[in-house]
Amino acid sequence: MSAAEEVVTEAPAVEAVPKRAMTLGYGTSLAVLAALILIPLFVKNFIIFQMTMLLIYGLAVLALNILTGGSGQFSLGQSAFYAVGAYTSAILMEHAGMNYALTLPIAGLICFGFGFLFGQPALRLSGVYLALATFALATAMPQLLKLGYFEHWTGGVQGLVVTKPDAPFGLPMGQDMWLYYFTLAVSIAIYVASVNLLRSRSGRAFMAIRDNEIAASAMGVDVALYKTLAFGVSAGITGVAGGLGAIAVQFVAPDGYTITLAISLFLGMVVGGVGWLPGSIVGSAFIIFVPNIAESISKGLSGAVFGVLLFLVIFLVPHGARQVAIVAQQLIAKLKKN
| Nearest residue (CB) to other proteins, 168 versus 303 | 303
| Interaction of residue 276 with other proteins, rule CB under 8 A | no
| Interaction of residue 133 with other proteins, rule CB under 8 A | yes
Q: Which stretch binds other proteins (CB under 8 A): 31-39, 49-57, 142-150, 233-241?
A: 142-150
Helix 78-95 × helix 127-146 angle, to 10°: 30
The amino acid present at 80, given as its one-letter code, is A
Instruction: Let me know the angle formed at the C-alpha of 287 by 286 and 289, rounded to the nearest 5 degrees.
Output: 65
| Interaction of residue 316 with other proteins, rule CB under 8 A | no
| Per-position b or e across 2-39, b if 16+ CB within 10 A of its CB | eeeeeeeeeeeebeebebeebbbeeeebeeeeeebeee
DSSP states of 143-162 as a string? HHHH-GGGHHHH-GGG-EE-
Rule CB under 8 A: which of 184-213 touch other proteins? 212
Q: How far is 188 from 200, CA to CA, in rounded Å?
A: 18
| Interaction of residue 117 with other proteins, rule CB under 8 A | no
| Interaction of residue 258 with other proteins, rule CB under 8 A | no
| Interaction of residue 146 with other proteins, rule CB under 8 A | yes
The least distance separating other proteins from the CB of residue 154, rounded to whole angstroms, comes to: 15
| Interaction of residue 295 with other proteins, rule CB under 8 A | no
In degrees rounded to 5, what are phi and psi of residue 160? -125, 145
| Interaction of residue 220 with other proteins, rule CB under 8 A | no
Write out the residues near other proteins by the rule CB under 8 A: 1-2, 4-10, 13-15, 68, 74, 121, 124-125, 128-129, 131-133, 135-136, 139-140, 143-144, 146, 212, 214-215, 218, 263, 266-267, 269-271, 274, 300-308, 310-311, 314-315, 318-320
